Amino acid sequence: MKRIGVFVCHCGTNIAETIDVKKVVNELSNYPWVVYSDDYVYMCSDPGQKLIIESIKKHKLESIVVACCSPTLHETTFRQTVKIAGLNPYQCEIANIREQCSWVHTEKNEATLKAIKIVKSIVEKVLRNESLQPIKVPITKRALVIGGGISGIQAALDIANGGYEVILVEKSPSIGGHMIQLSETFPTLDCSQCILTPKMVEVSKHPNVKLMTYCEIQEVTGYVGNFKVKILKKPRYVDPDKCTLCDECTKVCPIVVPNEFDLGLTGRRAIYIPFPQAIPPSYLIDPEACPGFLPIACGKCADVCEANAIDFDMKPEIIEKEVGAIVIATGFDLYEKKNLTEYSAEKHPDILNSLQFERLLSASGPTLGKILRPSDHKEPKEIVFIQCAGSRDPELHNAYCSKICCMYTAKHAMLYKHHVPDGKAYIFYIDVRSAGKGYEEFVQRAVEEDGVVYLRGKVSKVFQENGKLKVWGVDTLTGKNVEIDADMVVLAMAIRPSKGAEELAKKLKITTDRDGFFSEIHPKLRPVETVTSGIFIAGVAQAPKDIPESVSQAGGAASKVLALFSSKELYHHPIIAEVNDELCSGCKLCISLCPYEARKFDEKKRIVRVEEILCEGCGACIAACPSGVTQQRNFTDQQIYSMIKTLLEENDKNQVSS
Ligand SMILES: Cc1cc2nc3c(=O)[nH]c(=O)nc-3n(C[C@H](O)[C@H](O)[C@H](O)COP(=O)(O)OP(=O)(O)OC[C@H]3O[C@@H](n4cnc5c(N)ncnc54)[C@H](O)[C@@H]3O)c2cc1C
């Protein structure tokens, strides 16, 4: 029989306050097969791990149980520890006496008895544990980055500079994301385009980067190191390699539709370039707006195109790629104006959302940087900025804080005052959240140097009266109602996950949070990893954040990819399902239940096999197998029966003694 060691952690006072740790140690020291037991205040610390290593060597332990916190936190830590001592890592098991005991009980005696039961049952399990070996998996050292905003560009550049190939997939016709629409950026007020366009060029020319714009992810299969991706390439109907950007085509195109880049403040033709600095630098035809190609209804653009770049016969293509890691950087969309009926947001052209205002401020925008009202092109002399438009409003809109709006609204008001020094800028706010390097100073500058008026309170209503936009609000600091006759209103709309994020999450088999942003696996310790290994997140795709934070997170995600690619091969954990070939009846029930598509029917032998690399060891097939021929490694029926038997025996013992 095995020689087992038990190590009980105090977890500071997390465990020791509710559980009599010494009693657990004493009880376990008398349990069969346990030849050594001990406790320590922080078992996961260096001295705690040393205690385990030395005890394994001194007492010739063959398996150990660490009674501590959840295995999700420190199972890997302690498996590494026993490996250093020369044991197989799978001879270490965790008895969770924190989350499953000390944190959920207050009565010390009862909690101690329960902890003893938990630890004994885990001793029964580890007694029967096999020494498993991780499964080796080959790795494709090529990354896929989804989303070509600043986060995706940065992640792609960092991976490419690390020496690996990157496929950067962007759904719109150009990379750049929202940052390319911005005017100047807080807190330094440097020009957004001046910082971003060199990066856009760099990524497009990088020898390790394959840029795929106007493309969408259709299907993702496989697993870490070996993903297979189907990418839909939408037809541009203009060949970027031939297009000379002469602009003759737009001059003859008879169709005008709202320009997405200027958020409808200007129009564009059916054949268009998204913006002058677009990458790739090429025109494309919007098939929804064009009068039609089959048969060609207009064709004027093709007639004037001397480069013969227009090809009405282009078809959508499916391109298949193999990659080892994926970074999601799909960013955000603004909460739609139509949701804010209380502010008549959709009804009046002079009620703008924050990105529309950015376009007005931009030197390359519809008014060439002049602040003019869309309705009559007059300079607004009184302007009201409303923060938290759709954020921090759990009853009507989104409960969360969109985080960046306090800062960009301060920027908007400040830039407005730079453009219209005799104008008045009011900001309605709930709180001003300006945590960040130089951020508080930036807001102070807006108030002190530029005379922006901050009004603490919410706006109840915005409506039109006598050619003005009436803003009814309250100043909670003076307790007075406020009424402003504004020429323009700017709404700091909530930041929402980009359209299609939920669908993409399903394709990637990862999770989103309750607001629809992609979820990280651990908010503190693994903020760029997702539940599926090999898939990482960066930028606003995870939660609202500004440019510096997006760039840092993109670097974090890229470094995770580089770390993954630095290994020769990957290792898949071996605690997976296995089938007894002799007894499997081939009923196939397990195939439909497996969420990882790890079950395959062997036509020749008429049995079901486990694809080891795909199996995540969730146990669904084991519970469902009607003949019990599927077992989970180190979670066999025999192990589970012996654990339950121990718990029942301990219950009986405790009842007799009480
Ligand atoms: C009005 C306003 C002003 C701002 N001002 C500042 C400022 O002054 N300073 C500052 O630091 N920050 C500012 N920000 C924040 C800044 O815009 C963001 O931090 C930054 O854009 C985040 O970049 P991202 O790449 O994560 O997302 P995005 O910029 O949204 O880029 C995401 C990209 O992914 C693409 N995409 C989406 N879904 C898919 C898909 N399924 N497949 C392929 N591609 C996809 C999108 O088309 C887009 O190109 C401002 C934000 C707003 C709204």
Phi-psi region of 562 (alpha: psi -120 to 50; beta: other; left: phi over 0): alpha
For residue 506, CA distances in Å to 25, 393, 500 come to 46, 28, 10
* pLDDT at 564 (0 to 100): 96
Pocket test for ligand 1, best of 166, 188, 498, 502 (most atoms within 8 A of CB): 498
Residues 51 and 60: their CA atoms lie apart, in Å, by 13
Residue 280: cis peptide before it, omega within 30 degrees of 0: yes
Smallest CA separation from ligand 1 atom 52, residue = 355
Please give the distance, rounded to the nearest whole angstrom, from the Cα atom of residue 545 to the centre of ligand 1: 9
Q: Are 609 and 600 in contact (CB under 8 A)?
A: yes
Mean pLDDT by 10 residues, the chain (658 residues): 95 97 98 97 97 98 98 95 98 98 97 98 98 94 98 98 98 98 96 96 98 98 94 97 96 97 97 96 96 88 96 96 98 96 91 98 94 97 98 96 98 97 97 96 96 96 93 95 97 98 96 97 92 95 98 98 95 94 94 90 95 91 93 96 96 79
**CB 152 near ligand 1, within 6 Å:** yes
Atom of ligand 1 nearest to the CA of 548: 11
Residues 59 and 63: their CA atoms lie apart, in Å, by 11
**CB 359 near ligand 1, within 6 Å:** no
List the one residue out of 262, 470, 468 whose CA is nearest residue 367: 262
Burial 103-127 (b: 16+ CB within 10 A, else e): bebeeeeebbbbbbbbbbbbbbbbb
Smallest CA separation from ligand 1 atom 7, residue = 185
State how beta strands 34-40 and 267-269 pair.
Answer: unpaired
* pLDDT at 515 (0 to 100): 97
Vertex 630, ends 624 and 631: CA angle to 5°? 110
**CB 149 near ligand 1, within 6 Å:** yes
Pocket test for ligand 1, best of 200, 326, 391, 404 (most atoms within 8 A of CB): 404
**CB 147 near ligand 1, within 6 Å:** yes
**CB 415 near ligand 1, within 6 Å:** no
Amino acid at 190: D
Residues 511 and 508: their CA atoms lie apart, in Å, by 9
Atom of ligand 1 nearest to the CA of 146: 43
Expressed in percent and rounded to 5, the helix, strand and coil fractions of the chain are: 30, 25, 45
Atom of ligand 1 nearest to the CA of 504: 41
**CB 405 near ligand 1, within 6 Å:** no
Please give the distance, rounded to the nearest whole angstrom, from the Cα atom of residue 30 to the centre of ligand 1: 61
Please give the distance, rounded to the nearest whole angstrom, from the Cα atom of residue 159 to the centre of ligand 1: 20
In this prediction the pTM is: 0.87
Please give the distance, rounded to the nearest whole angstrom, from the Cα atom of residue 156 to the centre of ligand 1: 15
Beta bridge partners of 184: 191
Residues 459 and 538: their CA atoms lie apart, in Å, by 34
Please give the distance, rounded to the nearest whole angstrom, from the Cα atom of residue 377 to the centre of ligand 1: 28
Count Cβ atoms within 10 A of the Cβ of residue 605 and give its class: 0-12 exposed, 13-18 middle, 19 or more buried.
Answer: exposed
Residues 68 and 209: their CA atoms lie apart, in Å, by 46
Pocket test for ligand 1, best of 166, 168, 182, 386 (most atoms within 8 A of CB): 182
Residues 354 and 242: their CA atoms lie apart, in Å, by 37
* pLDDT at 79 (0 to 100): 98
List the one residue out of 351, 375, 356 whose CA is nearest residue 471: 351
Residues 565 and 164: their CA atoms lie apart, in Å, by 8
Atom of ligand 1 nearest to the CA of 541: 26
For residue 188, CA distances in Å to 73, 177, 213, 442, 449 come to 40, 20, 31, 8, 15
Pocket test for ligand 1, best of 169, 179, 386, 439 (most atoms within 8 A of CB): 179
Please give the distance, rounded to the nearest whole angstrom, from the Cα atom of residue 344 to the centre of ligand 1: 26
DSSP-derived 3-state class of residue 599: strand
List the one residue out of 545, 551, 542, 550 whose CA is nearest residue 402: 545
